[in-house]
Each structure stands twice: as structure tokens, then as C-alpha cells.
């Protein structure tokens, strides 16, 4: 079982927030996480303790929060799923940016690796063939051009 599978959607959201804060500031403070997520201090403290117990963050009260190596891998996975979904929702389905952001945040927690890989392949295919209509070909294990747009 991977770390991602053991984490609740809420803990994945905390990891994602920490990832983005650390990316901007090199480390996060509990206050940064409170502001980023719009939650209470007590919620952040509880989440940080849980993530620390799982070996995903370095945390001590009143100290900086950083991701461990395992935390970096888990957070990067959540961020990548989010980016792939948001890109698909905006570029393929034509959703508005704000709605796509909201929906990607909800979907990122439940997407299978198979679906994520197919979305990535679809996006790559569309990039290479912008005027094509594409479908999934199970026999070929990939997307194929079904005709011109």
C-alpha cells in the first residue's frame, strides 16, 4: 500500500498546501497553512501531528514545517494529479478556470492511476494532433485519431 492510499483527502490537502508554501518560502509555519487553507489553528496542529506520525513532515510546535523525503513524494503526487485534472478540465472540457480548480481539488483524491495515465496520454496526443478527434483504443492501449475535427 502506498502512502497516498493511506491518506485521507484532508491530509492530502494539507500536504498539497505545505508543498506550495515550501515551494514559495522554503519552509512553512502553521500560520501559513492556516492562511492558505482557511482553517483553524487546532485543525492544522492535528493534521501536522498526524502527518508527522506518518513520517511525511518534520514538525514541532512553534517551529518550521518541512516535508520529509516521503512527504515530498506524496505531496508531489497530489500536486501532479491536481495539475493533470485541472488541465484536462480546462483544455478538453472547456471549463472556466475557477470551476476547474475547485473540481480538480475534489477529484484529485479519488482518481485511479490508470485514469490519470490515460488523461496524460490524451493531453499529449491532443498536443501533438490539435485538430483531431480522439478515442481510446483498448486493443492498442492508447488514444487514436478517429477523424478530423
pLDDT at 147: 62
Residue 5 has pLDDT above 70, yes or no: no
Query: Model confidence over 25-60: pLDDT tens digits?
Result: 988 999 999 999 999 999 999 999 999 999 999 999
pLDDT at 115: 92
Who wins on pLDDT, 2 or 108? 108
Question: Taking residues 5-33, what's their average pLDDT?
Answer: 93
pLDDT at 145: 74
pLDDT at 36: 96
- Band (pLDDT 50/70/90 cuts) for residue 90 is confident
For the chain, give every domain's residue range.
Answer: 3-75, 84-148
- The distance in angstroms from the start CA to the end CA of the chain is 42
Residues 49 and 43: their CA atoms lie apart, in Å, by 10
Question: pTM of the prediction?
Answer: 0.80
Query: Model confidence over 117-141: pLDDT tens digits?
Result: 988 888 888 888 877 777 677 788 7
SS3 content of the chain, % helix, strand, coil (to 5): 60, 15, 25
Burial code (b: 16+ CB inside 10 Å, e: under 16) for 41-63 equals eeebeebbebbbebebbbbeeee
Residues in CB range of 131: below 8 A, 6 or more apart: 148, 149
Looking at 1.10.287.980, 1.10.10.10, 1.20.120.1200, 3.30.2290.10, the CATH number of the domain 3-75 comes to: 1.10.10.10
Beta bridge partners of 142: 137
Amino acid at each position: 500500500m502506498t502512502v497516498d492510499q493511506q491518506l485521507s483527502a484532508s491530509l492530502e490537502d494539507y500536504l498539497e498546501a505545505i508543498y506550495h508554501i515550501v515551494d514559495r518560502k522554503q519552509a512553512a509555519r502553521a500560520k501559513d497553512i492556516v492562511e492558505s487553507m482557511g482553517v483553524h489553528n487546532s485543525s492544522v496542529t492535528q493534521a501536522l501531528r498526524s502527518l508527522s506520525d506518518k513520517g511525511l513532515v518534520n514538525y514541532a510546535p512553534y517551529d518550521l514545517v518541512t516535508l520529509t523525503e516521503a512527504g515530498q513524494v506524496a505531496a508531489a503526487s497530489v500536486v501532479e494529479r491536481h495539475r493533470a485534472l485541472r488541465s484536462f478540465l480546462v483544455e478538453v472540457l472547456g471549463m472556466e478556470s475557477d470551476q476547474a480548480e475547485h473540481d480538480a481539488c475534489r477529484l484529485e483524491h479519488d482518481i485511479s492511476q490508470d485514469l490519470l495515465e490515460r488523461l496524460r496520454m490524451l493531453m499529449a496526443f491532443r498536443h501533438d494532433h490539435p485538430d483531431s478527434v480522439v478515442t481510446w483504443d483498448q486493443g492498442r492501449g492508447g488514444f487514436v485519431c478517429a477523424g478530423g475535427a
